Amino acid sequence: MALPSNTGRKMARPRHRTSVLCALAAGVLWLPPLSAAAQTLSDPGDPAAFGSPSSDDATATTDDLQTGTIASTPTVAATTLDPDAAIAADALDNGRQNLRESTIDELRGGRDLTDDGTGIRLGTMMLKPTFSQGLVTESTKTGNETDRKSYWDTGLKGTLTSDWSSHELTINGQGNWRRHLSGDGNDEPTAAVDADLRLDLADDMAARLTAGYSFSHEDTTDPNAISGASEQSGIHQFSAGAALERDFGKMRGSVGVSFGRSLYTDAVLSDGTRVELSDRNRSSATLNARLGYEISPALIPFIEVSAGRILYDDKRDSSGYARSGDLYAARAGLATDFGEKLRGELGIGYERMMFDDQRLDDLGAVTFDGNLGWSPQRGTDVTVGVSTSIEPSTTAGLSGSVAYALNASVAHELRSNLVARLSGSTTWRDYPTEGSESETIEYTAGAGLTYSVNRHVDLTADLGYELTTSDTATDTQVLRAGIGLSVKR
């Protein structure tokens, strides 16, 4: 029997190879759409499709009056080697005004390295509570007298942030209770809560609503504090505001109104006598407008003007002075945003307060205001802030003071679980009067360490020093040291 020729076998082989190649080509063209569709239609609650929200991303903010709406939400878990996952991530962002924030090199990482794994999800909100307990010892020297005391500091704070496709709500709250163990002093509670709601409107427009409350006791070094009081006045402060922000091409405009309310409780002298301070109760209202121009996304010069009214409950205080008045301010500055490396704003201007009582001189000053955050290298953060404020006085015949404050802090990661902190500040208060001028200067310095036992427990150690000098009073020095423990969820 004749065997098949080699020629016939070679002719059959091309048809088989052609069929295989056609099938492989069809599979390659068909598989990516299926993968992208599967990623896009995956359940948002599936942990395999989403990474855990990071501590930085959970609290996204917009620059007060600058660049519109920028926010962060949980990052899609996709490796840079998987193009289908990247396509799915972009599809998930479609229709969201709170876009997910990409990395510096615009590549999506396999996991979010800033995720600390803390937080409690409450529906579409994320709650991050922290409980702290510390033991502090303090030594205060005034002239030749030295007072020593120790106390427990118990604190509770938390942040509640939204994870919505549009709009954003952030609520911050904290409370602290100081219980004295030795030395003179009363237990001192403090509390603060504030809420910020951003509403994303049409046509590059956003509305912002804010509200806040705080309570604290007046500091003994405050120029309006009662000398010799065993318990200084408690201050209740309320605030509310509304603003409308709009982008017009490269122009950034906003207009807003804010309201404030301050209430003062009685001070208690060492013999138990109560000093009523209700004549310091006041309300304020301020109208503010700001206009900026985007030279580039990272540089926005701006101008800002404001006008307001401070109205005291009592037409005249206990000394017979009418301290209600009008407040006007204007400033120009530059806002910068170079990402995590450098961001903030600095401005210079002029502020003036005119009192209803003609016996009180007007208070006016050149103002410097701003803050700057700089990260020279990974693991190192530097912040610098400067502010100017006009502070009304309670002293008969004295209008008040102008306070200039400068502060700076540095945080550096010595190890992945050990952070060193340094801080310092200076506050200069000038009291202009008709005949002469006096001033008070406060200096503070601090150092500390934070050791992370794990992602839920931190150990802290802090050392601080304060010095207050005055032309009209004895210098005061305070040395403070403490250790603490904080637990976060």
> What's the pLDDT score for residue 406?
97
Q: Is the pLDDT of residue 27 over 80?
A: no
Dihedral pair phi/psi, residue 108, rounded to 5°: -85, 130
pLDDT score, position 488? 92
The answer, yes or no, to whether residue 382 has pLDDT greater than 90, is yes
- The chain-wide mean pLDDT, for the chain, equals 80
Identify the CATH number of the domain in which residue 412 sits. Answer: 2.40.170
Query: Helices (H), strands (E): how many in the chain?
Result: 3, 22
pTM, two decimal places: 0.73
Q: Decide if 78 contacts 51 (C-beta within 8 A).
A: no
Backbone angles phi, psi at 7, to 5 degrees: -65, -40
Helix (H) or strand (E) holding 20: helix 6-40
Q: What's the pLDDT at 99?
A: 52
Neighbours of 316 (CB within 10 A): 14
Domain that holds residue 329: 120-488
**pLDDT tens by residue, 390-439:** 988 888 888 888 999 999 999 999 999 999 999 999 999 988 764 556 78
Same domain, 51 and 142: no
Instruction: Say whether both 110 and 130 belong to one domain.
Output: no
Taking alpha carbons only, the member of 426, 439, 442, 433 closest to residue 476 is 442
- Number of separate domains in the chain: 2
Q: Lowest-confidence range among 153-162, 183-192, 296-305, 432-441? A: 432-441
Q: What type of residue sits at position 261?
A: R
Together in a domain, 157 and 21: no
Q: Are residues 134 and 12 in the same domain?
A: no
What is the pLDDT, as a whole number, of residue 187? 79
Identify whether residues 198 and 77 lie together within a single domain: no
Domain end marker among 61, 83, 115: 115
Q: Is residue 21 predicted with pLDDT exceeding 70?
A: no
Mean pLDDT of the region 371-391: 94
User: 92-123, pLDDT tens digit by residue?
Assistant: 444 445 554 444 334 333 334 344 556 899 99
Return d(Cα 235, Cα 264) in angstroms, integer: 5
> Does 208 lie in the same domain as 77?
no
In a shared domain, residues 343 and 237: yes
Q: Are residues 106 and 150 in the same domain?
A: no
Question: Final residue of a domain: which of 75, 91, 115?
Answer: 115
Give dist(CA 330, CA 348) in Å, integer: 8
Q: Quick one: average pLDDT of 1-9? A: 39
pLDDT at position 24 over 60: no
CA-wise closest residue to 73 among 10, 166, 147: 166
Radius of gyration of the chain (CA): 30
Domain boundary among 73, 96, 115: 115
Angle between helices 6-40 and 83-93 (to 10 degrees): 30
pLDDT band of residue 353 (cuts 50, 70, 90) is very high
The pLDDT value recorded for residue 113 is 39
User: Does residue 197 surpass a pLDDT of 60?
Assistant: yes
Task: Looking at the structure, tell me whether residues 99 and 131 fall in a common domain.
Answer: no
**Average pLDDT, integer, range 147-158:** 94
223 and 167 part of one domain: yes
Burial of 372 (0-12, 13-18, 19+ CB in 10 A): middle
Q: What is the pLDDT of residue 107?
A: 39
Of the chain, the percentage scoring pLDDT greater than 70 comes to 75
Asked if residue 423 lies in contact with residue 385, where contact means CB atoms within 8 angstroms, the answer is no
Reported as a pLDDT band with limits 50, 70 and 90, residue 459 is: very high
Residue 260 predicted with pLDDT over 70: yes
pLDDT digits (tens, 9 = 90+) for 268-322: 888 888 988 998 999 999 999 999 999 998 999 999 999 999 999 999 988 889 9
Instruction: Give the model's pLDDT for residue 188.
Output: 83
Instruction: Verify that 171 and 264 share a domain, yes or no.
Output: yes
Co-location of 13 and 127 in the same domain: no
Q: What is the pLDDT of residue 116?
A: 55
d(C-alpha 52, C-alpha 71), whole Å: 16
